[in-house]
Structure 1
Amino acid sequence: MIEAQDVLVDPVERRVWRAGREVTLSRMEFALLHALISRAGELVTRQELMHQVWGTAFYTSSKTIDVHLGWVRRKLGEDTRRPTLITTVRGRGLRFETTAADVRAEGASASG
């Protein structure tokens, strides 16, 4: 089990809970969330995500990541305008935050 903030991920059973409530994700949504939460607190580049989640060494468009990320954020009940779970570091990548306080302190942005 992997846990950060109030999100719990079971990589073996491919199940996710937020605040004790199970969240249903598609295969790709789960893979994206797992790639980020397994490195909680670390910056993960879009290139790394494309390789790990989509199995490609290049990305044709960041829209692929953005669309799936939007679905994951919504399913987790995240405010997409002011995310506290998965934040975007413009021009660098994405990070699953270990605490919501870190996000407020840094003034992280949801755009990417």
Structure 2
Amino acid sequence: MSPAQQPCVLVVEDESAQREVLQYNLEAEGFRVVMAVNGDEALLFLREEKPDLVVLDWMLPNVSGIEICRRVKANPETRSIPIIMLSARSEESDRVRGLETGADDYVVKPYSVVELMARLRTQLRRTRPATMGERLVFDDIILDAAEHRVFRDGQPLKLGPTEFRLLSTLMEKPGRVWTRDQLLDRVWGRDIYVDTRTIDVHVGRLRKALMVNGGADPVRTVRGTGYSLG
């Protein structure tokens, strides 16, 4: 899996030992990991790059995990990012507060790393199913991420690796309009320079492949913005 395909997990944790354990296990699972040691660093990263998931400690210096969670979920640009909150607070009232603030899951310290990884994968199946090996379906198009195969109307299609990543991104959220910059980040990765016009070239190739057997073009161009599936 290329860096662009790897789900990005932002870990916000001020204890160095906890950060090392999380980073080791997340990278072993194939995730790209970014670390923040306090709330200010986390908020700065969230403004510059939107991770696929946030693992967030409740007790942080400066800005608390609860406040970070509140801000992330109040912002329309970041509210869909899953947050798994870590806390030594085990009372029911604390769990309820964390979840009501917007956390998608709440894990009490000390926790089982195996269980945490399972909970993390569950959240990512909901938001980035293709990266978790899920089968995606849109109308008569089937994308099998585990076997790296695409079918339309029961017929196998030949897609290059870039077109496959592009289609999987579009199929994860049909109807969503992706800007060219968002597609560049998701398909190629932030660390690789690619001219935005390259997107148009690969969308053209994807369209040609999808229409090879006479099917209708499912990719919609949104003038001045980007592309959408359906």
Return the alpha-carbon distance in structure 2 between the equivalents of residues 15 and 58 of structure 1.
26
Q: How does 1:84-99 map to 2 (within 5 A)?
A: 84-97=217-230
Could you tell me how far 1:24 is from its partner in structure 2?
Answer: 1.1
Whether 1:20 and 2:118 are equivalent positions in the alignment is no
Higher helix share: 2
Give the TM-score taking structure 1 as reference length.
0.75
- Structure 1 contact 42–96 (Cα < 8 Å) conserved: yes
Whether 1:48 and 2:48 are equivalent positions in the alignment is no
Return the alpha-carbon distance in structure 2 between the equivalents of residues 58 and 90 of structure 1.
25
Structure 1 residues 23 and 54, CA gap change in structure 2 (3 angstroms): same
SS of equivalent residue, structure 1 residue 67: helix
- Structure 1 contact 47–58 (Cα < 8 Å) conserved: no
Could you tell me how far 1:56 is from its partner in structure 2?
Answer: 2.1
- Structure 2 contact 181–196 (Cα < 8 Å) conserved: no
Work out the percentage of aligned pairs sharing the same amino acid: 37
Structure 1 residues 28 and 60, CA gap change in structure 2 (3 angstroms): closer
- Structure 1 contact 2–10 (Cα < 8 Å) conserved: yes
Tell me which residue corresponds to 1:2: 136
Following superposition, which runs of at least 4 residues in structure 1 exceed 6 angstroms of deviation?
none
When the two chains are superposed, the root-mean-square deviation of aligned CA atoms in Å is: 1.8
Residue-pair matches, total = 93
Return the alpha-carbon distance in structure 2 between the equivalents of residues 24 and 35 of structure 1.
17
Return the alpha-carbon distance in structure 2 between the equivalents of residues 66 and 38 of structure 1.
19
Return the alpha-carbon distance in structure 2 between the equivalents of residues 10 and 73 of structure 1.
18
Could you tell me how far 1:57 is from its partner in structure 2?
Answer: 6.3
Q: Structure 2 counterpart of 1:41, which letter?
A: G
Whether 1:74 and 2:208 are equivalent positions in the alignment is yes
Q: Which has the higher contact order (CA 8 A, sep 6+)?
A: 1
- 5+ long unaligned stretches in structure 1: 98-112
Task: Please say which structure displays the higher CA radius of gyration.
Answer: 2
- 5+ long unaligned stretches in structure 2: 1-134
Could you tell me how far 1:48 is from its partner in structure 2?
Answer: 0.9
